[in-house]
Structures are given as structure tokens and as C-alpha cells.
Structure 1
Amino acid sequence: MAIRFVLFLAFLYLFPAAVQAETSDARQAIIHQLFPSATVIGEKQKDFPVWPVYQLQELLGYAYESTDLSRLQGFAGKPIRMMIGLDTQGRFTGVEILDHHEPVFLHGLGEEPLFEFVDQYEGRSLREQIIVRTSNSSRSGRNSEGDVVYFDGVSKATVSVLIVNDTVLSSALKVARQKLETFSQAAPTRAKTDFFEPMNWRNLIDRGYVGHKRLAASDVEQELGRPLTDYPEDLEPAAGEPFTEIFFAYMNSPMVGRNLLGDDGYQRFMDRLGDNDQVLMVASRGVFPHVDTDFTPGSAPDRIGLVQNDLAVEMRDLNWLDQQLRLQAGGLPDFDAAHLFRVGGNAGFNPGAEATLKLQIKLARNHLISDTATLNIPVAFNDDLFETVEIAASPESTRTPVWVGLWKERWAQITLLVAGLTVLTVVFVKQKTFSKHPKMLHRFRWIFLFFTLFFIGFYAQGQLSVVNIYTLLLTLWDGFSLDVFLLDPIIFILWTYTFITLFIWGRGLFCGWLCPFGALQEMSAWLGEKLRFRQIRVPERWHRRLILLKYPILLGLVGTAFYSLTLAEQLAEIEPFKTSITLFFWRYWPFVAYAVGLLVIGMFIHKFYCRYLCPLGAGLAVLGRFRLFSWLDRIESCGSPCQHCKNECGINAIRKDGRIDYDECIQCLECVVILRDESQCVDSIIRNKKEQKQRARILATDAAGT
């Protein structure tokens, strides 16, 4: 017994060390995958959280965990943890996913698309500008110079892969600037806010406040190695005219911005800028402007790129130059193209330090052969425009948040969604007026359900989920960050609208009008009726018990999320939303069978899932109890004796005594229509009959008197 006890104590003492050794071995194996030729992996450095990797005595680079340097939260509210390798030249040796909770990969698309996405980083350099294409038609590749690289995104996982990209680049830049000498930064500068005097265009150029480069045809021919006449395009400039003449200016500076835009224009320009936004104006004239004829406003240009400190600086068109904001300095020449580009990205931009504009020239000799050349244009402005910043802001605080680009990219979807919600709000506020026109209201409801299913659901992917509740509670527990919720503008707008309306109308406005799967259930119920399927009404006593089932489901899921988010996400498959709305039923067959099965049951029992199983509906019902108003009017005869509204309520949210159960009501407004329709409301029918009898008696009395 004593020997066993000693062995047990020894096990307890050695077990943590064994676990640590196993963890260390697993980490070393991953680092070896990132650096196959490594012979020595150093200890994690105390001053900066990286592992130096050597081949004999030669430093190969550094490996590090992304969460040590970037805590950007993923779509599930937790960071995506990666092991990243960076060699001494600033090239990625690879990226390995260690841990993540992104629902679309764990329980939807599978993890393979995520692994394929991060595989694209191997061999890429921090000196390249990596752009993740988010459209379905995108292809990965690079431009002729190689400093702009396009990665394939993942359909239906745009937010997640953009977070991965931002995490990889921002953390790698921290490592490079801390450990690699070639990436060290010059002293940061900013525009002097009190430096201004009126100047015309010529003076701005002469003083170096506006940069300028004129390229003759001979300059281009020298780079291409052949005359422009060898190309079928008409690129021969007229005598004395340039092949291209490019102008560039740092618009944040009052000396530049006020003179180019005017006082009012500059003020409007600054009002629209974010706190850390930096803008470079690029304009050109000649036979080869800085953008091609197919350039899409609001996107990154293909013909020009900006490089500073050997890093590609992101450039994205703001699409702000119009009649309200235009270049207007005295003596301004006529440009063939002019744009305002937001510059910076993860690499940042130091306006007072030297940079380079790279003009990419690609000319086709025929449909098979093209020649390319890159012309470097130095970017250096007069030092008088800037002042040195004493303390450099950290990259985390100066870079534009990921969600800003996502909102701009989806502006059309946002506009249409806000317009739809505005119309819906007007209808609900004026429901008593619209209920007097039942045919019009019914048509509107079906039109809006189609809008909800096909636009909000299938197209914009705006299906709210109980997983969103996990995210909220976990971020409140771990430290709230609004950025997590702003990553998906459609979901954010819908949640904000739903939360506000919960305290006005209760849960019914979302569940009855804005839930895509709810709309799909409503359509399946309609189809069941048209096919003459027997409609089953659950007995009242069983219905009242079954509607309580969704509440323990909600509590179980939320409680599990604090114990194991992975397990909670798996249990959240009780929601068929991901299978039906997110993945269009293209999934492993048990999930599809479950979602389709619920819709089939709904053809016999109206909105079966909503009524008895939906944990999201349960959560909304709890908050909906704090609503300020009970909008659905009742009258004395409702429930006693009249049961017409109860019998017509497909979701059985009206009690026998006539009271409306707002925890279950989906605000279809059918009872409001009945109450105001004198041909349906029993109280109105009885009252009208009494009035008719009364008039008949009066007429009979009058006739007898005569």
C-alpha cells in the first residue's frame, strides 16, 4: 500500500511535466513543418514572444503563435489561433491553424477550405500587398511586378478569412519590425494642422507640396525594349505630349487639401475621414492614365501600387470626387483620371518618409504575347508639410478595422436592408390603418416574406442564430468588443433592429417577418394546405406544455457555451438555419434530412419548429416580455363567446379567454384584420344584426302608424 501511495504521489508530481513535454513536442513538430530544414528551435524569447529557428548556426527565421501578438476576435467571438513562420527576408514559410471556433468551418463547409486558404501564404512576402478576393468569380494570382497578390477567398466565410488575413499580416509586421533590420521604421510623421497659405496649382508643384512625374514615350520604350509602334493599341502621344504625366498629393495636409478642394470642400473631406485615415490624391493625363477604362470605383487599382520601406502599402479608391467634392485649385490642368485613395492597411503609411509609386505597364503585342514594365516614381513631399510624432502609435490602433472595409463592400445590401426595415416599421406603426385593407396587407406580408427568405436569407446571409447569443455572452464575459459584431453588417443591423423592436412589439416582429427559416416554414405550411394535407392542431393542454420545451433547450445551450464553445456549437445544430439558409441544403445528408423533415412536419403542424424547438425564439421571447406596449387590441367579446381569432391563429398564440400570448405571437396581424373586418368579427356581425333588427322594427312601427 505504501509503495502504491508513493507511486501515486510521483505520478501527480510528474504528470504536469509530462503534459508540458507533450505540448512542447507537438509545438516543435509544427514548427518543423514550417521550417523543414531546421536543426535547432530556440526557446521562446522573453522580450518578444517568438521562437528563433536555426539551421546549425544560421538563423532561418521566427515562429510564433498569432494570439501572442494579435487578439482580433473571430466570428464566434474567440481569436483564431495560428502558428506562423516568417523567414529572415520577411517571407512566410507557412501558416498552421492550431485552434478556432468559426461555425461555418466547424459545422458547415468543413475545415478543408480554411486549411486551403492559409496554405496560400507559404512563399508570400510581407513586401507584397495581399488582397483577399471575396467574390465567387475571383482567382488567386499576382500582378506583373509581384507586389500585389490576390488570394482566393472562401464563399460564405468571407468574414472569417478576412480576419485570418488581418491577423496574419498584422502579427507578422510586428515580428518583422521588431526582429528584422530591413523592416525597421523611420520616425513617424503627421501633417501640420496649422500650416496653410493660399496657393495655385503651379506654386504647389514648385514648392514640392504636390509630387509630379512626366514620362515620355522614350522612357517607356526603353523599359519595354521595343517601340510603341509594335503594339496594336494607339499609344503614340502627340508631339510634345507625355506618355503619361502623374501627379500625387497628401490630402490630409491643410496646405494641400484646402488649396486643392477649397475651404468648404476640405472641411467636407475631413468630416468624412476616419480618425486614422490617410488619403493620397493621384491624377494623370496622357495616353496611359494611372487606371484603365475598366477600373471599378471603390476598388484597389491594378496599374499603380505604393511601396514604402519595402512594404506594399494598400491603396483603395474612396470614390469621393464628384460635383460635391472636386479638385478646384487655380491653374489646375485637365486630367484624364483623378482619384482619392485611402492608403495604409496593415503596413501603415508614413507621409513624411520616402515612398515609391510603381506604375505597371502591360501592353499586348497580340492575343498571346504581352510585354510588361514597371516604372518607379519617387514619392517625397516637402518636409515643411509634416511634423514628427514623438511616440509611434501601435499598429493595432492606427490601422483601419476589418469591419470598415466589409461595410463599404456591402453598401448596396445595407441600403436595401435598411429600406426594407423602414417600410416594415411604417406598416407596424400604422397597422390599424393598413388592417382596414386586408387584401393589400396579405399581399404585402407575402411579398415581405419572399424578401426575407431570398434577399435577407439566401443572398445577404442574414439568418440570426442562437450562436450569436453565445458570442454576445462570451464577449461580455471575456471583455466586450463591438468590433466582433460589426464584422457582419447585415447581422449587426438585424440584431440592432430586433433588439430595439423587442421592447416595442415583442418577439413577433422578427419571428414572423424577418426570420428566413420562419418564412420558409410559412411557405411550406401554405404548400401543405394547397396540397390538402390534413392540418393537425395540437390539443391545447399539450400545446401549452410543448411551447415550454424551447426554454430548457436555450438554457442548456448557453450553459454549455461557458463550459465548451465547441460542444455548444455542435449542439446548436438543433437549429436548421445553417443547413437550409447558409448552405442551401448542400451538406451531409443527416443534416439535410433533419432540416427537410422539420419543413415537412410544418406542412401538417403550422410552424412546428418555431413553436416548440427554437432556442432563438425562446431567447427573444424572454426579452420581449419587457415590451412597452400591447399593440394587438382585444374587445369584451374576444374569448367569451367569440373564438374566431383563436381558431384562425395558425400558431395558436391566442388563449381561450381571448388574451394574446405575446411570448408565442408572430405578429402576422391576422387577428387585427379580423377584428376590423365587419364581415369576420363575430362581435361586429352580432352588433350589425341587432342594428338591422332595430331598424326593421322602427320601419315596421312607422308603417303601422301610417
Structure 2
Amino acid sequence: MWRLVLVLLLVLSAPLRAQTMADHVVAPYALGPQLTEEGVWSLLNSGGGEAGYVFETGPLAPLPGFSGQPINMLVMMDLEGTFIDVRLLAHNEPIFVSGLGEAPLRQFLAQYRGHSIHEALVVGSPYGAGQGSELVYLDGVTKATASVRIAHESILAASLDVARERMQGLKAGPPPRPDPGHDEVLDWDALLEQGLARRLQVTNAEVEAGFAGTRWAGADPEARADPEGLYLDLLAVDLGPPSIARAVLAPETLAELARQSEVAPDDEFILLVEAGRHGLVGPDFIRNTAPDLLGAAQDGLPLALRDADILAELHPDLPAPWQEAVRMVLRLDRRLGFDPTREWQLLLRAERQHGMFQPETGSTELALAMQLPERFFLAATGSAPRPPWLEAIEARRADLLVLGAGLLLLFGLLARQSRLAAHPRYGAIRLAVLAAVIGFVGYWGQGQLSIVTPLAVIRGLAQGGGLAVLLYDPFSLMIWAAAILGLVIWGRGLFCGWLCPYGAMQEFAHHAGRRLGLPEWRPAPSFARAALWSGPIALVGLIATAFLAPGHAETVAEIEPFKTAITTHFVRPWPYVLWAGGWLALSMVWFKGYCRSLCPLGALMRAGDVLRLRRWIPRRAECGSPCQLCRVRCRYDAIAPKGQIRYSECFQCLDCVTIHDDARQCVPLILAARGRARKEAA
């Protein structure tokens, strides 16, 4: 029996793909062999030849979204690095779960088709005169800019990782991070001598040579008037190492940089100071966006530059010309494959326009090689990065500790159910626990269990699905483990009676009905027994849909009101709200009507009663014959006429335990006490 329990625990803790990789690859392509342990597969053409690669972003670039979980997408890329397709697989981003829906996100992902990883892809819109820029803009999603940017960075990180390893033979390891313990005294002269500050000077004549033979040749009057004048006089400094940042920044800017580094610890900040004509950005540049005149590349692949929105003040020891120059701080994300200890190029575009009406814009590129010594960084020893499930646990460590403590307390209370049920304040204790379940487990922790999870497990096992998503939600997995352990010890009652947020909401709704004086409806036994079949029928229907029509499985799963009531806080279209709210309204007169009838998860829990090891509710010979008090008062109809407990229908409310041990309520105890009193009187 314990082996069976262990197997179930492992199954429910194993993240399985909603669909196998082969399900997503359609003609004229076919899925080839798996190339890496991280889930990179070969993509074959109709003739069986290698056409590219297919992979999920989740295992390769698990950048957490607002839900704390990565947005998992499937990427198909040809051998040259051009995107064939990008599809959404799984996510929990609140703005797309409710409100906007998934359609805008899927439309955003469709923009990648035909673009290449060799292009400078950014999320946003071109502004003003930037129409000649080499940046490729992907339209974002209004009200979801941050979530879309996370998805974009996940796609870039995973795609560049595959490109480096498969196309260039470079095995990407964990990026080096600045060593906060490395303390080195540096001044301006040391920065220049050691190449820690790089300078690029370009004359007007050199820029003119870049436009030679084009329609933009000679289009710059200032360059013609002063060929030897400086078009670009650039100072570039990587601010990642604290020793270098202290040498070039004023204390106020240094403090601002430290604050931003705490918020974005994976960002490498780059200081640019420009004393020539270039100016770094166009006239319509908007802060905190990708600058249209600047770019970066490493290993022949572009890096995503963004403005850090820091108004930099320089260290007073820097020469006066730099103090008066244009200053800008950019950021590069090390998670996207950027390694500051290997050579990379800072790219600047010199732009010119030709024509008076709707002028055409042309550009030539200027490059500055950048690289920092390894002594400033914690060496990347090649040890593998922490797996995504470990990152997920770390991200929710505080919540998991609170949940673990709460579960231990609940198990401790229920282990002494006789003492708990006899406590004079038991009713208040139970309502306090249920309120915590709604607030912390449900709304805060998003730990409402759903039938969708075991369906994914069953379908994944049947179709040979691999590991993918579920371990990104350790909070729910801890509740699953507690629910399964509860099945073994007590039956379904631990989860259905104590840990289900929507079940707790129904119980509070019933209490509200009593306070409002509404009548309590107790259906006839024949109806109640018939209603019990609706849950198993719904469960069978869901399983059939998952296998026969998987595209409709998510829609059919809306038979559960949990997503509307808990996940989206009732912020959904009115039919969903009416469904979830209607069951709560019905619970005001019919105690936990949804739990006792249509709930497919409850039906699965009832089937799980086979795991229960013991009958833990105390019974007497008189229970059921002649005494019927417990059965009459049981609002779940979980006691048979002969007094046996139907554990598969018991929600562990402990009302019958209270009656059993109370000499003022239990009829056998009352009769026994009267008999003793008569004997003593005689």
C-alpha cells in the first residue's frame, strides 16, 4: 500500500507536458531525434533531411513571470536561425488568464515567424526618425507590456542558447557574475591603461567613407566643412564590477545603480559618455526603451540593449570634457547569454537622410570592442544552473514555510480529533482554519487544486509525455502531497473538508444563509444518492475529452468553478461568474451542493478512498440501531442507516465525533447514565 502511495506522490510531483513534442510539429515538418537533455530536438523536412531545431523555452530559459512561473513556449527555428513558428504552451500570467485572455499573447508570438535571431528584435514601436534603424520592432500588448517582455526575453535566451551550441559549437554555461568581494582601487589613468574604460574616436571623414558609393554620400554639410572633426568621441565602461563603478560614478548615481542591481541582479550595466556629434540616441528617443542608434553583439549574435533610465553623474575625478558630455546607462541581461569576460561589440549607427519629402534614411555601423578581465567576476565553473523546480521553490520559500507550518498544525489538530471536537470553541477554530484556507491557500498562494492536474498526469503517462511544467508550482504540489497523505490516513475529508478554498467558501455561504434566515434544503435520500453520480460522470467526460478532443479539454474543465472563484477573483466574463457564484448562492440553502454532486475532483477523491488504511471515526454497537442521531445531523449524508460511516462521502467535519463523545448529546451515553443513576438510586 505504501508503495502505491509513493508512486502516486511521484506521479503528481512529476511535471508532464500537456502534449508531446510531436503533437506540435506538423507537415511539412517532422520531429527528429532528441539532441540535448534540455529538450532540444532536431526538426526534419518532408524528405527526412535536417531542417532546424524545435525546443521549449521553459527548460532552457525559465525566466519567471508575474505568477512566479515561466511562460513556456515552443520554438521552431531553421538551421540559419530564422523562426519558423513560436507557439504558446503553458503560462499562468494573471493578465492573460483573466481580463485580456490568451489571444493577444498568441498574436504577439505570431510576429516572430520569418524573423531571425541575427536581427535586433525588440518589443515596442519605432519612434519618429528611427525608421532607418536596424532594430526590428515587435508590437507589444497594451496593459501586458511586462509579461510580453518576459516572454520575449525567454524566447531570445532559449534561441540564442540553442544557436550558440548547435550552430556555433559553443556550449553555453552559467554566465559569470561580478564578484562583490573583489575590492580594487582604481583611478582614471588605471581605467584607461588597463582597458577597463574603452574609447572610440571617429572623424567625420571616416563616417563619410562608410557612406561612399551610396546616395547618402556627401549628405552631411558639417562633415564636408570639417572632415577631421570628431563625429564620435565615445567612452564606454562596464559598470558590473563594483570597483570600476566606484571609479567612474558619483556617489548618488552609484547608490541608484545599487538599487537597480538589487531589483535586476542579472543585468550588466554599461556607461556610455559621448562628447562628439553622434549623441547616442535619436531626437524622439523614449527612456527605458531600446535605443535605436545603439546595439550590441557577441559571437556574431545580437544582444538586447535597453536604457536603464539612470541619469548618471560622473565621479568628480574624471576629466572635465567628459563631465559636460552626453551620458547614458544601458543594461544587458546576462541570462540571455551575455558574458562580459569574453569579447563583445558595442555597435553605434551613424544615420543620414536623403531627400526633402519623406526622406530615405541610411546608416553605417561603428563598432567598439569591449571585454573585462575575469578577476572582477566570480568564475563560471561550469556547474549546471539550478534546475527550474529549485528556482521555483526558492522564489516561494516564505510561502512554502508558512504553508508547511500550517499543514503540520492542521495534521496535529486532526490527529487528536476527539479532543479537538470536544473543545468548546471547536466551531470557531474550524471557521478560522477555513478562512485561512480561502485567504492564504486560495487567493494568496493560488493553491486551489484542480482536476486539470491529474488529467494532465494521466494523459502524459498514457502518451509517454516527458517532464515539463508542474514542478514550477511547488505550493500546489505541497497541498497535493498533503491531500494524498490525508487520503491514506482519513480519506477524502482532509482536502475536501479542510483544504479546498472553494469548499470553504461554500461552507461560509451556508453559514451566511443561516444568519439570513434562509431555509435549509436537505434533498430526499433518493435525489442525494442520484446526485452523487454526477461527479463521476463529469470525471469520465473530462477524461474522454482529454484523450479524444484535447483541444476542448480546457473548455470542458470549466465545469470546475475554481478558476473563476479563486484564480481570477471572479474577474471573468459573466457566464463564468454566474456559474461560480450560482453554486455559492445555492450553498446558502444546500450545504456544499457542488462538493456533494458535480465536482469531478471530489469524484476522484472518492475513488481515492481505496488508499485509506483505517476506520478512524469511533462507533458504538448502538450507532444506527437504535440510535440515529449522528445520521440525522450529518449534513453530508455520509452515515448509512445502520450507522456505518461512508468515508468516501465524509468531509471530516467531526460533528459525529463531537456527538459520540458528548454525554449530553450521545443517546447511548445518556441512556447508560440514566441506567447507572437508577441503580445508584435503588
Scaled by the length of structure 1, what TM-score is found?
0.59
- CA separation of 1:82/1:186 partners in 2, compared to 1, >3 Å: closer, same or farther? closer
Q: Is the 8 A contact 2:455 2:546 kept in 1?
A: yes
| DSSP 3-state at the match of 2:519 | coil
2:162 aligned partner: 174
TM-fit CA distance, 1:83? 5.5
Q: Is the 8 A contact 1:549 1:613 kept in 2?
A: yes
Which deviations, in whole Å up to 9, do the C-alpha atoms of 1:199-246 show, x marking residues without a partner? Answer: xxxxx99xxx97957254998999899xxxxxxxxxxxxxxxxxx998
One-letter code of the match for 1:300?
P
2:259 aligned partner: 294
1:347 aligned partner: 337
Q: Distance in 2 between matches of 1:522 and 1:171?
A: 49
Give yes or no for the alignment of 1:214 onto 2:223.
Answer: no
One-letter code of the match for 2:372?
P
- The 5 A counterparts of 1:503-582 are 503-582=488-567
Give yes or no for the alignment of 1:458 onto 2:443.
Answer: yes
Which deviations, in whole Å up to 9, do the C-alpha atoms of 1:149-169 show, x marking residues without a partner? Answer: 9x98998x98x9978864563
Q: Is the 8 A contact 1:547 1:611 kept in 2?
A: yes
Q: Is the 8 A contact 1:553 1:613 kept in 2?
A: yes
1:621 aligned partner: 606
Which deviations, in whole Å up to 9, do the C-alpha atoms of 1:625-670 show, x marking residues without a partner? Answer: 2211222111122112222222222211111111111111111122
Give yes or no for the alignment of 1:405 onto 2:391.
Answer: yes
TM-fit CA distance, 1:545? 2.5
TM-fit CA distance, 1:588? 1.8
| Worse-matched range after superposition: 495-504 or 612-621 | 495-504
Q: Distance in 1 between matches of 2:438 and 2:581?
A: 16
Share of identical aligned residues, percent? Answer: 28
Q: Is the 8 A contact 1:295 1:301 kept in 2?
A: no
One-letter code of the match for 2:550?
L
| DSSP 3-state at the match of 2:617 | coil
- CA separation of 1:500/1:187 partners in 2, compared to 1, >3 Å: closer, same or farther? closer
| Worse-matched range after superposition: 687-696 or 651-660 | 687-696
Give the counterpart of 2:105 among 105, 110, 114. 114
| DSSP 3-state at the match of 1:304 | strand
Give the counterpart of 2:630 among 620, 645, 661. 645
Q: Is the 8 A contact 2:490 2:612 kept in 1?
A: yes
Larger RCO of the pair (alpha carbons < 8 Å, separation 6+): 2
- CA separation of 1:641/1:307 partners in 2, compared to 1, >3 Å: closer, same or farther? farther
- CA separation of 1:294/1:81 partners in 2, compared to 1, >3 Å: closer, same or farther? closer
| DSSP 3-state at the match of 1:625 | helix
Q: Distance in 1 between matches of 2:564 and 2:174?
A: 50
- The 5 A counterparts of 1:330-345 are 345=335
Q: Is the 8 A contact 2:104 2:141 kept in 1?
A: no
| DSSP 3-state at the match of 2:489 | coil
| DSSP 3-state at the match of 1:435 | helix
One-letter code of the match for 1:430?
R
TM-fit CA distance, 1:613? 0.6
Q: Is the 8 A contact 1:453 1:519 kept in 2?
A: yes
TM-fit CA distance, 1:675? 1.5
- CA separation of 1:96/1:430 partners in 2, compared to 1, >3 Å: closer, same or farther? same
1:675 aligned partner: 660
Give yes or no for the alignment of 1:379 onto 2:344.
Answer: no
TM-fit CA distance, 1:696? 2.7
1:423 aligned partner: 409
Q: Distance in 1 between matches of 2:197 and 2:92?
A: 54
Give the superposed CA RMSD: 5.3
TM-fit CA distance, 1:406? 2.9
Q: Distance in 2 between matches of 1:619 and 1:153?
A: 40
TM-fit CA distance, 1:546? 2.0
- CA separation of 1:178/1:71 partners in 2, compared to 1, >3 Å: closer, same or farther? closer
One-letter code of the match for 1:110?
G
| DSSP 3-state at the match of 1:608 | coil
Q: Distance in 1 between matches of 2:576 and 2:436?
A: 25
Q: Is the 8 A contact 1:436 1:677 kept in 2?
A: yes
Which deviations, in whole Å up to 9, do the C-alpha atoms of 1:559-603 show, x marking residues without a partner? Answer: 221112222222111111112111222222222212222112211
Q: Distance in 1 between matches of 2:186 and 2:60?
A: 45
- CA separation of 1:153/1:49 partners in 2, compared to 1, >3 Å: closer, same or farther? farther
Q: Distance in 1 between matches of 2:344 and 2:111?
A: 27
Q: Distance in 1 between matches of 2:519 and 2:646?
A: 25
- CA separation of 1:633/1:68 partners in 2, compared to 1, >3 Å: closer, same or farther? closer
- CA separation of 1:452/1:175 partners in 2, compared to 1, >3 Å: closer, same or farther? same
| DSSP 3-state at the match of 1:434 | helix
TM-fit CA distance, 1:554? 0.9
- CA separation of 1:124/1:95 partners in 2, compared to 1, >3 Å: closer, same or farther? same
Structure 1: state its 5+ residue gaps: 1-21, 26-41, 51-63, 132-145, 192-203, 226-243, 249-280, 315-342, 359-373, 698-706
Give the counterpart of 1:608 among 593, 596, 614. 593
Q: Is the 8 A contact 2:174 2:385 kept in 1?
A: no
TM-fit CA distance, 1:401? 3.8
One-letter code of the match for 2:437?
T
- CA separation of 1:508/1:292 partners in 2, compared to 1, >3 Å: closer, same or farther? same
Which deviations, in whole Å up to 9, do the C-alpha atoms of 1:423-447 show, x marking residues without a partner? Answer: 11111112223223141x3222111
One-letter code of the match for 1:49?
A
| DSSP 3-state at the match of 2:372 | strand
TM-fit CA distance, 1:100? 4.5
1:56 aligned partner: none
| DSSP 3-state at the match of 2:411 | helix
1:49 aligned partner: 51
- CA separation of 1:357/1:606 partners in 2, compared to 1, >3 Å: closer, same or farther? farther
